[in-house]
Structure 1
Amino acid sequence: MMIDRRILTHFDFLLLFLIFPIIAVSFFLINEANEILSIKQAIYIAAGFFLFWIIFFIPFRNLSKSISIFYWFCIILLVIVDIYGTAKLGAQRWIIIPGTGISLQPSEPVKVAILLMLANLICHNPPPKNGYGWKDFLKISFYIILPFLLILKQPDLGTALVVVIMGFGILFLIGVNYKIWLSILIIVLVASPLIYKSLHDYQRKRIHDFIAEKPSYHIRQSVITIGSGGLFGKSKEKSTQTQLKFLPIATSDFIFAYYVERFGFVGAIILLGFYIGLILHILSFSFINSRDYQLRVMSSGIAILIFVYMAVNIGMTIGLAPVVGVPLPMFSYGGSSFITFIVLFGILENLLAFRFNFEYNSNPFKNINKKGPLAQLVRALGS
């Protein structure tokens, strides 16, 4: 099968170079801690990259109606969770697929749906010079607020906040009138006491534990684990905090603490360097073409998503953020979050590799006054 050279020219191999080391080190740690979990993680990794290549060849730039259908399908799944969902640890977030026993967490694919929907909406209605006004802002915000409320109801405060930060972070970067942001800031500050009272008891407890003088048991063990790693870390046999099970949830929520115990402060700096490099590299795609709103929305959204997950998870392990169960991207054990990120990377690579279609087919004169002298010159040249 012949592949257009332009696809290989535009394909971003550096993105894969930044992702692979993160996944490899994660698998090494999970395998070291629990071989059974490592087998499952290997399956997730294989499934993720299989999906990557399927997603890569889907023509997302031409799927306006399909994207809308996918978004509303994900919304329906969130509604089904509320009615028929399976509860675990007091939260109703999963759907069991009949006859398979496989559980699905709709709050993961809905992140993909939101990004695609925002890219579609903004592409068809780009912001004016001074940014979106209230009418367009509220229209676009609806597609962010609706899944936010449905996820919050499960309850899943961590994922709900990630969705809001991702969605409105994109709008901030794309362009919204500054008066709107000032108004929202004032409203949030005034309503903050009511927002706090509306939280569930366990959510308020997490906030209280975060600001309390004495951190919770999980945080104390995590900080001890990180401190015990020293400058260069310890061998597997000497990593007593993890091996003796003092560190809770070592392969998922607190895997960063486990990593630092094994590889020390130097290892932590290297891992953070890969994440920061990945975030900045992805964010740089939004500056390739100011008119390519699909690429701008997707790249900025993925960059924000990785940053928020990374910042909250690492902040949580060192006591600078409340424990909300947010995974470290592509590093924590689990299939839902991992596959979501791999799918997003597949969409991003598609928009990058096939952007020559956008560049060659876009009309630079579409906004010209049809009766103006420049339009007459273009028509004359064309004839």
Structure 2
Amino acid sequence: MLIKNGRIHDGLGNVAHQDLRMEDGMIRSIGADLAPLPGEEVFDAAGMEVMPGFVQPISIWGVNGSMTEIRPSSNDNDERSNPIMPELDGFYAFNGRAATYQQLGAFGLTCCGVGPTDNNLFGGTIAMFCVDGVNPYRMCLKRSCGMMASVTSSLKRTYGARPQAPQTRMWIFANFDLQLRKAAEYKEEADKPKDDKLLALKQVVDGELPLFVSCDSANSARQVWDILQNYPKVKLVLLNGFGLTGEEDWIVEHKIPVIVRVASNPLDKDAMTLDWNGIAKLWKQGVPVAFSGTYTNSLGAREDMIWNGIEMMKVLHDSAAVLPMLTSVPAKLMGVDDITGSLREGLRADVVIWSANPLESYQAHIVRTYQAGQVIYQEGDAMKCM
């Protein structure tokens, strides 16, 4: 397949009128005036925008199906038997058919991350998948992309009603520190059983596995950072961005990535503190910023990624700057930027052809979406699921 005459957005901030060739599921060449090969299909993208597929780093796709399809609302990423479960693997929560049924390609998504919910202090690891297929083993791009943690009030709501710890912020932060300290001090001994929880967390304190921490305020994010001063190898990624004003010198100094997530409930009091100007200010100071969508135990909006991008456009007014927050930056944070997230020769052909720039025009719609060079959605396909 040769895509000709389109405006190529590489997802790294560069835009140019070029052609793009896909072969064997990969991007083989990008350049001006590429000549069609014998027998090669040619798609004329004149007047269209060619972009990388969106990469949603934290999601519920493939965990919950529709109410009539595939183990409806199974919540297989929401283990609530123990608030400390770092040994769990988000890979096992994923069902390929449940993700495919959502037709995420119709909304520009070609890659999604699946991991534990915010309901545990340490919930387990995140895995990255392509969005169309059946077999999770074939759809998985990478396992163990990072460890999921949460210091939000959802822990108190989940366990406090039983009653069971945690019921207070004191417990949450004391045990956040305690578990990391135990992992840092842990040594395997031949005559003792292995501690799977500490082995999992040891990868975090040794800097082998990034730590994605969901915070519901700027204060809780700072408290997490203060604790992590005792564990200098930890690679922190902040989730949500709630309450950040852009004045957080510690985030800027250490270039701590922020993944912005929207809330499923528009009346969520924590999400109401999301300040797009503050997030933009952090970005302008060199902080990596990525977007994700709704992350709940029910079906979220497939449009969340693009809506986040549009919100940022209201501040930055620069689509070439905003697009990487939907593509290459989340791909890098999840460790799959050598596979997808940008339009570069040698990467997977995860390509979306838009009628116009979706960050600049509400009239923009998707003409075709390719996952590894295969069409997974094209204009005119019937939409099958909410």
Report the TM-score when normalising by structure 1: 0.25
Bigger Rg, structure 1 or 2? 1
Which structure carries more strand by proportion? 2
Structure 1 or 2: more helix by fraction: 1
Report 1 or 2 for greater relative contact order, CA contacts < 8 Å, sequence distance ≥ 6.
1
| TM-score, normalised via structure 2 length | 0.25
